[in-house]
Structure 1
């Protein structure tokens, strides 16, 4: 029998036994024929074929067999159906050219995916770990075919993803350059590199590739290039780009302004200072002394533009404008203007909080809630209107109340010293040390992450202070003002305060040292702080140092692993807690799997509750760039038997899902508000407020439910103080910044915001120390869209929101309770009075017809019934009218909205924003979605522009932490009869 004489059809076949039997035939042609037929029917009869797969393997291993690749392909398909994917891949590689990667089937997709995963693993070991391994050329061939398939199908994003994971930088470049939309794909690759690549060296290599591609574009994208250089920590390259563009055309100058706004939003103080120095721009630093404060002569750090050596030339004028942006003068002023103009705080909420404050803790909570609600708005009306109530604050409560002024005036630097002059330390010492310490803390909060002008004054006050409370406030204020500067002199001054071994001073000094050296991974600083942590006996100092050490490790990824390993193995639970925060800070926003596994392991295994709580909270910091993953990770932890773990799970959800209104997060938090443990309920209330900030009922239907829960918990007389504290703070968070701020660790441009990360990290320690709750305002991101002309002023113009106005509108204000109409109650008539009345009636000259008591009662009842019916009818009519009005509004609601500059634009709203078509302005940089500062090109150059006037902030001259002063006596007058 020969192969030519066999006629075989798979149609209607019920068994593969006949074909399988041909494998035992001695003739090679019959075996080849059998393999060809088995290859066709293997997906239907793999179970039968699996019994003889060893025979197929033998054919593959026989090097003299001419169809080895075919036998490997059949064996691979059998093992695929058996679920042995490694064996399936092994034989698929043996099939070589017979494996068609372009074929669309589950088998091919699975084997190719397995091949890519294995190839990626080998490439990571070779490129990242430096392992001496040889990559299988057959694997490489499959991956090369997949790249080609992506190119042929124009699926360039998939090619970019594979290239980034497999470290194939050549394919990354090819995929981008072959794309039809190179700028868009470059932005996509940049976003992937910054959020998903978890190794610092790899990220830097990818950024260098992207920078080269940005440079080679026909029109180089300098904005994204500078963003890459920020992460590569190359300020000199940014200086070169800005220097080149400054001397160019007007359009290039406008692009310089846009780049400077982006650099200011994304870079650290240290990086910005180096850029300004490279450009020859010197920021004017005002020196101040106690004498100036006493005489109420304020330092004005931002009143004059930044000056260079010669400002007569056009270039010097341009440099001055650039300096005013990089120094923060213009961005901070514009943000303040936005918050002042758009402030829509719900004062009735604060009144309810105040009415519910029946003890010192709730009093402090209300003061903090007021500061968060008015953060950056400069509106201190609540404090001025309630001076008597505020005067009840004593000791550390007074410290917190004074510091809250700094939160309200956050960013309003121009008159900061004048504003705080009545509270600041004076010579001779006469005021309350709590008030003076709080004022120094407030100054630091006003100048947070932008304190070049106020640092000398704060440093001098810290040096001359003798009281521990004043030093506590001075350390916090100086740390905030010098955040990320890596200033060695300030660090040494703070270290000297730490070495005084005073618990109160040491806690603030430890935090401040971390703020100054944030993200530096300075070995000397880490050594000093860890060593002193082992020596001190004060737990407060240990906690301050734990936060400071974590800040120094910020953003260092695997470079911080040795420090983390040392801390997590320490016997002291506070240092192990520090290790958990170090993991959260060093891998913040990366979602690193290894780091998450480490945190989860500690969360369920450590013997100390504080360590377990810190481990779970740190998960929130890791996942804020992928908030949808956090509910899945912490859902089981939220049901843990350990209440500290449950509290940590709540805060982790609040941190990672902040401002998202995510229903999965809320579904976990809602039952936790009824937890039997009080501090878990507090954590759930705080976290739910973070998730719901800047949401309305259209975006999140559960908003009203949670708001009612906050109000009910706050006003319940029988509720625990700890829970009420959480409910009152939740009211402040959900109304953040006059309802114009969201809680976010990302800037308007999508990059990680250092102050926000710091703010949320320190806020988690409100658990230990109430004054630290003010740090939360650093995580408040104003949701603005501000258009600026070539003079860096706001022109009168409108933006178009391509969505219904109700979609992103403010939630309605709280309505005051309506007063109920009092029903008239019939007066009781005494028997003696009735008798007298009867006598008087009988003696009257004209007798009249009088109703009997029964008839009178009947008439009164009838009148009541008539009134009730009338009221019911009125209510029905009112309801109908309201329903009709709502229907009309829904029917008549426009499909778009025009919003005046400066505009309130929510994060979700940016993608539907555009400049009005009839506007004379256009954006110099076409980004996806409008948000933040937008530099505008005037298409009608020369025509007069309408400029928006600057509003003056509201400031209080009264002392808001002391009793109201006596009124002045009346003017002299003459008395006449």
Structure 2
């Protein structure tokens, strides 16, 4: 048998042998040839990688770049990406960034990642300087620069923008935008990416300043987007200059100024709005025409000048009036449903009694409808002490926004003999005046100074904080600090919260003084209130609040560490900041206190509220923790982050938690589920509503679970079924008052009266259109979906109420068979036809009913449900419905901010309309809201004192009478 031949040497082996040749031309030829086979025979080439590296190190060798590229490919196949990138950078132009191979794409991604990491580690002054002097390897910079140029040449401008923002290259960002054929689209994309990708606040401000400049330099400046950039920069004077210019122009520019002002109001940055309001009119206020404008429309025609209208929007006066009218006229709260809850709740159970009062307040939030309270005054009077305080505060939730007549509204409550009623009324006044101090501050200050009762001071401090939120008012500051230093546990807790609201978002040095005072007091309630207050002061400050956060989160007192977690939530709300998430997750699994761990997990929801889809994934494992406090925190985190979204992942995570073995976890899951499902379609809500009512009507249900179910019911039907939980504005930015309200609401765990702060989170889901007079004209939009899809829930009927409490008598199967047999014999005896042998009873229907039913069925078949409906101004438009709603092309009124040639935006929120037929007479909507006095509580009705005058002044005899 002939011996077998040895295998022929591979092409790579033959070429590798040439690398030892003395002639440089042969070695160069071998390197170039090896490039063609290295992807297939890299294992063979790898055995000679040392020789290839040696060729690159030989500076006299002309083909050393080929050697570097070959070495790079070998290391790539070996999985050594760092070495592969090292040699690719030294291959110069031989490394083609436009090559579509996996090798090139992987190394380009690695190069960009390394470049981004190096750029982000630089100081800000170096980052913003000359990019060629940042100390980074010039070869790495060259590859990235070539990648930029490749993206721009191929029209991949969005990719270039993303790389520029990640690497902090403002020059490349501007170049990517200006070289685009769709500059406006690239600017809009840059705005979105900047909000979600740029985590460093200082650099984000530089990006926004660049975008604002580019918006203003467009051929047709986009003032709406430009002002959004300036708002994020907190540049009040910059926005005031734009608004002054627009409001002094023609009618179209004035309408645009109004739309910008409404957009600023909807973003809800209260201190910033106050500064814009004060600045508008300063520079060019004298130029605002009080007679004729360029278009010939006189200010006398509408009684107000354009400047006055603009200021009424910025102050919140006009938007709140429009909200009030909408919520009043579209109130679909179901009083019979509340009565069912009231009947199912034992009056002796004070917890469920208070929860029912809260549910009523939330259900009627902003609607001014207090019919349920009027009809149940005896039942309401069973609330005593702090329960009475809370019930009285609920009046402020119901009548929120009625700032002009708040004193008259509460006149029958304020001079009450009970300090709990008076304290609750002062708290209610703060809820009514949140963000709109008006004349409430002097009155609340007077009441706080004139009483030493800690209950009254508690209500006054909360009222002062709410009315003066974010203003830093010196008088309010002095009074709250005075009350704090009295070292009264009840009053001091509210003073700490009030100071936090007063200095919200300011990162004030006062926070350190509050921190120092906490080390001196022995009252845990004061420490808790102050720690929450300090958390509120760093709202939105991100890295600016890190010093205070670090001192709190590493404090030896667990209450202070609890507040430190809330401070992280407040400072980084809506940012998705990785460092904040890392700290919270570490605390959630390492702290020895259940309270701190619960707070840390719950705070994750605030940080992730702008990216709700991430939250269920982040807390999924925590939701299965053995610790019920961690599970409760996970449920609330999902509810906070995913509020109003109806997110499937959130619902799937919360669903099993509603049947948790621990009652307070069930409570948190029910509340969170209601937050997630608010304003979803009734088809989606029906099973959850049934489950909630089942918990409420179950006699043996635990008090905590029943309380959560009642609160959930109030959240689902909040604002007469016309509001949603709005932690973020339509632009994606967190809403200040909403975040603060949610932060304080979560403290109901310790102090139930704080649950009424949830009303600050509600935002009407309304389409409200106004014209140049800021009044609502008769107009409409079309919803291109079936009316039943987004219809209000059907009201509960008396039959539903009876059936819900009806006791069904059990019937044994043998009894049913015996009855069926007897019925059959009786029918046969009477000559009737046989009945069903399984015991089903025949239904007797008279001729008239049968005829009517048949006709109704025919009508239903003949008239199928329409596929669209007309929504008149104003109307409820839920977030899910908005995409199906648009203006008709033949509409007389069109949005001033609509993109050219489109009629699709906006159809929710405040929409300023342009009249395309100004010569035709305009019909306006008549106001339906009529102010009504509040219900008189039982203790005030039985009082022998005469009714007080409308105007209340501090009377020395008040204290003697116990007011």
Is TM-score (shorter-chain normalized) higher than 0.5?
A: yes
Which residue does 2:674 correspond to in 1? 689
Q: Does 1:122 align with 2:122?
A: no
Q: Which residue of structure 1 lines up, in the alignment, with residue 754 of structure 2?
A: 772
Q: Which residue of 1 aligns with 2:946?
A: none
Asked if 1:41 corresponds to 2:18, the answer is no
Partner in structure 2 of residue 837 of structure 1: none
Matched, 1:89 2:85: yes
Alignment match, 1:673:
658
CA deviation profile, 1:39-72 (whole Å, cap 9, x unmatched): 2232233333333322222222222222222222
Alignment partner of 1:948 out of 922, 925, 931: 925
Moved more, 567-576 or 240-249: 240-249
Which residue is 2:278 aligned to? 277
8 Å CA contact retained: 2:72, 2:88: yes
Separation in 1 of the partners of 2:908 and 2:274? Answer: 26
Residue 870 of structure 1 aligns to a residue whose secondary structure is: coil
* 1:715 matched to 2:715: no
Corresponding residue to 2:68 among 72, 80, 97 = 72
CA contact (8 A) 1:694 1:734 kept: yes
Which residue in 2 is equivalent to 1:107? Answer: 103
**1:551 equivalenced with 2:536 (yes/no):** yes
Look up the match of 2:389. 399
Hey, what does 2:485 align to over in structure 1?
A: 499
Tell which deviates more after alignment, 352-361 or 746-755.
746-755
Check the 8 A contact 1:383/1:960 in 2, yes or no: no
How far is the alpha carbon of 1:142 from its aligned partner?
A: 1.8
1:416 to 403, 406, 411: 406
* Shift in Å, 1:182: 2.1
Contact 2:248/2:288, CA 8 A, preserved across alignment:
no
Post-superposition offset of 1:202: 0.6
In terms of mean alpha carbon deviation, does 20-29 or 192-201 score higher? 20-29
User: TM-score with structure 1 length normalisation?
Assistant: 0.86
- Counterpart in 2 of 1:324? 312
Please give the per-residue CA displacement for 1:761-803, whole angstroms capped at 9, x wherever unaligned: 0011010011100101111111112111111111111112344
CA contact (8 A) 1:230 1:267 kept: no
How many angstroms does 1:806 deviate by? 4.0
- 1:527 — aligned with what? 512
Q: Residues 270 and 736 of structure 2 are in contact (CA less than 8 Å); yes or no, is this contact kept in structure 1?
A: no
CA distance in 2, matches of 1:726, 1:450: 31
Partners of 1:390 and 1:962 within 8 A in 2? no
Kept in 2: contact 1:349–1:731 (CA 8 A): no
Question: What SS does the corresponding residue of 1:400 show, helix, strand or coil?
Answer: helix
Q: CA separation in 1, counterparts of 2:830 and 2:314?
A: 79
Structure 2 residue aligned with 1:472: 458
- CA distance in 1 between partners of 2:823 and 2:785 (Å): 67
SS of the equivalent of 2:912 reads: strand
What SS does structure 1 have at the residue aligned with 2:39? helix
Contact 2:247 2:257 in 1 (8 A): yes
Q: State which drifts further: 49-58 or 855-864.
A: 855-864
Q: Secondary structure at the match of 2:38?
A: helix
Residue 682 of structure 1: how far off its partner (Å): 0.9
Distance in 2 of aligned mates of 1:901 and 1:624: 31
452, 463, 483: which one pairs with 2:469?
483
Could you say which residue in structure 2 is the equivalent of 1:795? 777
Q: How has the CA–CA distance of structure 1 residues 897 and 57 changed in structure 2, closer, same or farther, with 3 Å as cutoff?
A: farther
Whether the 8 Å CA contact 2:370–2:935 is kept in 1: the answer is no
Q: Does residue 805 in structure 1 map to residue 783 in structure 2?
A: no
Structure 1: tracts of 5 or more residues without a match = 1-11, 283-305, 826-851, 967-977
Report what 1:836 is aligned to.
Answer: none
How far does the alpha carbon of each residue in 1:355-412 deviate from its partner, in whole angstroms, 9 at most, with x for none? Answer: 2211110010011111111111111121112222111111111111111111111112
Report the equivalent of 2:255. Answer: 254
TM-score with structure 2 setting the length: 0.87
Preserved contact between residue 741 and residue 757 of structure 2 (Cα < 8 Å): yes
The answer as to whether partners of 2:423 and 2:459 remain within 8 angstroms in 1 is: yes
- 1:626-775 to 2 correspondences below 5 Å: 626-696=611-681, 701=684, 703-775=685-757
User: What is residue 301 of structure 1 aligned with on the other side?
Assistant: none
Q: Deviations over 1:948-968 (max 9, x none)?
A: 1111246344314559879xx
| 2: CA distance, partners of 1:813 / 1:71 | 80
Q: What is the root-mean-square deviation in Å for CA atoms of aligned residues?
A: 3.2
Deviates more, 1:547-556 or 1:55-64: 55-64
Aligned-partner Cα distance in 2 for 1:129–1:169: 13
The runs of 5 or more residues in structure 2 that have no matched partner are: 1-7, 128-132, 293-297, 811-821, 900-904, 944-963
Give, in angstroms, the shift of residue 351 of structure 1: 2.2
Q: Work out the number of aligned pairs and report it.
A: 894
Q: How does 1:172-321 map to 2 (within 5 A)?
A: 172-266=173-267, 268-280=269-281, 317-321=305-309
CA distance in 2, matches of 1:332, 1:230: 21
SS in 1 for 2:408: helix
CA distance in 1: counterparts of 2:704 and 2:931, whole angstroms: 33
Q: Any residues of structure 2 matched to 1:20-39 within 5 Å, and which?
A: 20-39=16-35
How far is 1:887 from its partner?
9.6
Aligned residue for 1:933, secondary structure, equals: strand
Question: Is structure 2 residue 48 aligned with structure 1 residue 52?
Answer: yes
* Equivalent residue number for residue 340 of structure 1: 328
Cα 1:231/1:816, change in 2 over 3 Å: same
Q: Which residue of 2 aligns with 1:364?
A: 354
Q: Is the 8 A contact 1:269 1:450 kept in 2?
A: no
What's 1:289 paired with?
none
Question: Does 2:610 align with 1:625?
Answer: yes
Summarize the alignment of residues 893-932 of structure 1 with structure 2, pairs less than 5 Å apart.
893-926=865-898, 929-932=906-909
Q: CA deviation at 1:437?
A: 0.6
**Per-residue CA distance 1:190-236 (angstroms, 9 max, x = gap):** 22223332212111111110111011011212222222222222222
- Of the three residues 593, 600, 609, the one matched with 2:594 is 609
2:537 corresponds to 1:536 = no
Q: Which moved more, 1:140-149 or 1:469-478?
A: 140-149
Distance 1:138 1:363, change over 3 A: same
* Per-residue Cα deviation, 1:315-338 (whole angstroms, up to 9, x for no partner): 772222122212211100001111
User: Following TM superposition, by how much is the alpha carbon of 1:873 offset from its aligned partner in structure 2, in angstroms?
Assistant: 11
| Cross-structure match for 2:912 | 935
- Equivalent pair of 1:444/1:478 in contact (CA under 8 Å): yes
Does structure 2 retain, via aligned residues, the 8 Å contact 1:93–1:138?
A: yes
Is 1:911–1:929's contact at 8 Å kept on the other side of the alignment? no
* Residue number in structure 2 paired with 1:63: 59
Q: Distance in 2 between matches of 1:685 and 1:18?
A: 73
Instruction: Render the CA deviation track for 1:895-943: whole Å, top value 9, x for unaligned.
Output: 4432111121222333443222221112111265432111111111121
Deviates more, 1:604-613 or 1:852-861: 852-861
Q: Tell me the alpha carbon deviations over residues 595-649 of structure 1, each in whole angstroms, 9 at most, x when there is no partner.
A: 1111111111111111111111111111011111111111111111221111111
Asked whether the equivalents of residues 436 and 470 of structure 1 are also in contact (C-alpha less than 8 Å), the reply is yes
Maintained 8 Å contact 1:281/1:320: no
CA 1:943 to 1:44, structure 2 compared with 1: closer, same or farther past 3 Å?
Answer: same
**Structure 1 residue 812: Cα displacement:** 4.2
- The SS at the match of 2:768 is strand
Q: Structure 1 residues 915 and 122, CA, compared in 2 at 3 Å: closer, same or farther?
A: same
2-side partners of 1:489 and 1:900: how far apart?
Answer: 46
Gap change, CA 1:308 and 1:175, over 3 Å in 2: closer
CA 1:447–1:34 in structure 2 vs 1: closer, same or farther (change >3 Å)?
Answer: same
In the alignment, the residues of structure 1 paired with residue 197 and residue 362 of structure 2 have an alpha-carbon distance, to the nearest angstrom, of 33
| Residues 156, 175 of structure 1: 8 Å contact kept | yes
Cα drift, residue 471 of structure 1: 0.9
3-state SS of 1:518 partner: coil
2:959 aligns with none
Q: How much does 1:73 deviate? A: 1.8
State the distance in 2 between where 1:578 and 1:869 align.
65
* Residue-by-residue CA offset, 1:242-293 (whole Å, 9 max, x unaligned): 22222211111111111221222335343333333333589xxxxxxxxxxx
Asked if 1 retains the 8 angstrom alpha-carbon contact of 2:892 and 2:916, the reply is yes
Q: Report the alpha carbon displacement of residue 21 of structure 1 after superposing the two structures with TM.
A: 3.7
> Alignment partner of 2:41: what SS?
helix
